[in-house]
Amino acid sequence: DQQVKQNSPSLSVQEGRISILNCDYTNSMFDYFLWYKKYPAEGPTFLISISSIKDKNEDGRFTVFLNKSAKHLSLHIVPSQPGDSAVYFCAAPSIMNYGGATNKLIFGTGTLLAVQP
Amino acid sequence: EAQVTQNPRYLITVTGKKLTVTCSQNMNHEYMSWYRQDPGLGLRQIYYSMNVEVTDKGDVPEGYKVSRKEKRNFPLILESPSPNQTSLYFCASSFGQGDGYTFGSGTRLTVV
């Protein structure tokens, strides 16, 4: 079973506060994870990734945390800005039968983040 | 500018009328892929290509065809569109495994 799940369809946060977007996965063999951001009428854009051998990756205001025992990852945005309002997708490359990662990305259903001024 | 270009952006068509959505990338990427986005279902892969003349099915390939005759182009063909193919379609490319995909701006297709 290879699934990536985002159980919160939406999240509303005040400007300047922290946004935490969550993602759960089913297969402990996933090699790495990616977050994409999507504005209306645009394609998703790559935001940040994390390897399964790490538990944290930081890029400016964006930090990904990986909890392998819980099969859970989260994206933290600090401080949140109105321009961060978008749909955020969590994704992972699918695993071949012998365990290697493919280039086929499995996406979650997305979380709509609204940052209120 | 490095980009993935897909056309058209919007298309309304009738059931059964063959159509092609074009996709082109200027980054010399080997990997290309088509996804569809539907409410509550996220992004689901239709087909992908690892290189010229190498294509494979994704999760929802039924009713679609693709070809990869040149590295830069990866058209999506609907031979006989049906209303359940009404969706938002994205083409994407990447240099290799571990790299994030670069997505096109999307094609909103409506089949009536």
Query: Is A15 within 8 Å of A85 (Cβ atoms)?
Result: no
| CB within 8 Å of chain B, chain A residues 76-95 | 89, 91, 93
Q: Please state, in angstroms and rounded to a whole number, the distance separating the CA atoms of residues B7 and B29.
A: 19
**Residues, chain B, total?**
112
Confidence at residue A114, expressed as pLDDT on a 0 to 100 scale: 98
State which residue of chain B sits closest to A37, comparing Cα positions.
Answer: B103
Round to whole Å and give the CA distance between A73 and A70: 9
B24-34 residue pLDDT tens: 999 999 999 99
Among B29, B35, B44, B101, most A C-beta atoms within 10 A, so best to mutate, is B101
Count CA within 13 A, CB hemisphere, residue A102: 18
Whole-angstrom Cα distance, residue A2 to residue A25? Answer: 8
Per the CB < 8 A criterion, the answer to whether A63 and A113 are in contact is: no
Chain A residues whose CB is inside 8 A of the B92 CB are 43
Mean pLDDT value of segment B38-44: 90
Residue of A51, A52, A56, A94 whose CA lies nearest to A75: A56
A43–B58 CB contact, under 8 Å: no
pLDDT for res B35: 96
Interface residues of chain B, partner chain A, Cβ below 8 Å: 4, 31, 33, 35, 40-45, 48, 50, 58, 90, 92, 94, 96-98, 100-106
The pLDDT assigned to B95 comes to 82
Structure tokens at A102: 């493919």
Task: Name B99's Cβ contacts closer than 8 Å, sequence gap at least 6.
Answer: none
Three-state DSSP at A49 gives strand
Q: Please write the tens of the pLDDT for every residue from B55-76.
A: 999 989 999 999 999 999 999 9
Chain B hits for A34, Cβ within 8 Å: 100
pLDDT score for A95: 83
Beta bridge partners of B54: B51
pLDDT-based confidence at residue B112 (cuts at 50, 70, 90): very high
The half-sphere exposure of B91 on its side-chain side, counting CA atoms within 13 A, is 26
| pLDDT tens, position by position, B77-108 | 999 999 999 999 999 999 876 567 899 999 99
Q: What is the DSSP letter of A20?
A: E
The reply to whether residue B44 touches residue A105, judged by beta carbons under 8 angstroms, is no
- Partners of residue B7 in chain A, C-beta under 8 Å: none
Most B CBs within 10 Å, among A103, A104, A105, A107, to test the B interface: A103
- Give me the tens of pLDDT residue by residue for chain A, a chain 117 residues long: 889 999 999 999 999 999 999 999 999 989 899 999 999 989 999 999 999 999 999 999 999 999 999 999 999 999 999 999 999 999 998 887 666 767 788 999 999 999 999
Mutate to test the interface with A, among B103, B105, B107, B108 (most CBs of A within 10 A): B103
